[in-house]
Amino acid sequence: MLAATVPRTRARTNATRCVSEGTQGKTMRLGLPRRGVRARSGAFYDAPGDSRGFTREAMEVVNAVNASMDVRSGPVMPRDGAGGDPFGALLKNRIVFLGHQVDDFNADAVISQLLLLDQQDPTKEIKLFINSPGGSVTAGMGIYDAMQFCRAPVSTVCLGLAASMGAFLLASGEKGRRMSMPNARIMIHQPLGGAQGSAVDIEIQAKEIMYHKANLNRLMAFHTGQKVETIDEDTDRDRYMSPLEAKQYGVIDIVIGGDDAGLKIEGSFTEKLKTKKDYVAWGNESDDGSSSSRFTGKTQDAPLQK
């Protein structure tokens, strides 16, 4: 607010300010808004709370500016829960949704929501819905540690796809509360990465990715009940699973809709569909039958080269 001395004359209005009538020789205030302050009603300029010192022209200018700005208030959640921000509505019901690639930005959002819900009520379940192709190992480990840090039980639900780090987070939920929709897909594999630079730099990066592989295998074995050696062998290549197969493997506990809700594939899941041994002759120009082993579940030895 500014102050000025105004003579007793007819009030004048220009493009920048409006001066109301005042007593000669006395100080009065001009109706200038605070810059950058929005009124609670959503108007860009604050309407004066006490209009006794303002002329009708001054009030008309303020109202005209507000109308020309066409400012609307931000979205709000109606009391009945309809409309508004869907992610905010989910969070209100203690549901966190991971529907993107796992990176630092998305991980920070999931971590903050988990910690917030845990702080609000550490006794109520938090549901983490996952539809993610995976992503950064370090970002995913941040989400994993937050899940384990929460005092509230964190259940996990897969819909669409939970691959790579997404599958790891799916398996990391509270035991007995890891679920999947019947038509979802789950995929596990070893960490991927690359490096460039000097030989020493590449060696450093190679050691780092081997550390992550060993750590992920250790944790995956703990959550699934499989042996570390089994995890190491099965993640050598991309291993896709149906919800029922993931349940048998120990990644999830419940198939929503029942075990018969999804598509069943003939053959036993325990038969190894692919390992390094299955692909030992993969890529040969001649059809030696090894390429079909991944469909039959039978391991074939590579033919001897003469």
CA atoms 67, 71, 76, 80: torsion sign: positive
Cα–chain-centroid distance for residue 242?
A: 23
| Helices 199-224, 137-149: crossing angle, 10 deg rounding | 40
Structure tokens at 169: 């987070």
Structure tokens at 258: 């029942």
Task: Specify whether 189 is catalytic.
Answer: yes
Secondary structure element (H or E) that encloses residue 96, with its range: strand 95-98
DSSP 5-28: E--SS---B-SS-B-----TT-EE
The H helix count followed by the E strand count for the chain is: 9, 9
> Using alpha carbons only, what angle is made at residue 112 by residues 108 and 117, rounded to the nearest 5 degrees?
150
CA gyration radius for the chain? 32
- Short-list 184, 179, 140, 177, CA closest to 162: 184
Using an 8 Å Cβ cutoff, are 136 and 110 in contact?
Answer: no
List the catalytic residue out of 132, 164, 180, 290. Answer: 164
List the catalytic residue out of 100, 189, 212, 223. Answer: 189
Residue 175: half-sphere exposure toward Cβ, Cα within 13 Å? 6
Task: Specify whether 164 is catalytic.
Answer: yes
Alpha carbons 177 and 281: distance in angstroms, whole number: 41
| Catalytic (active-site) positions | 164, 189
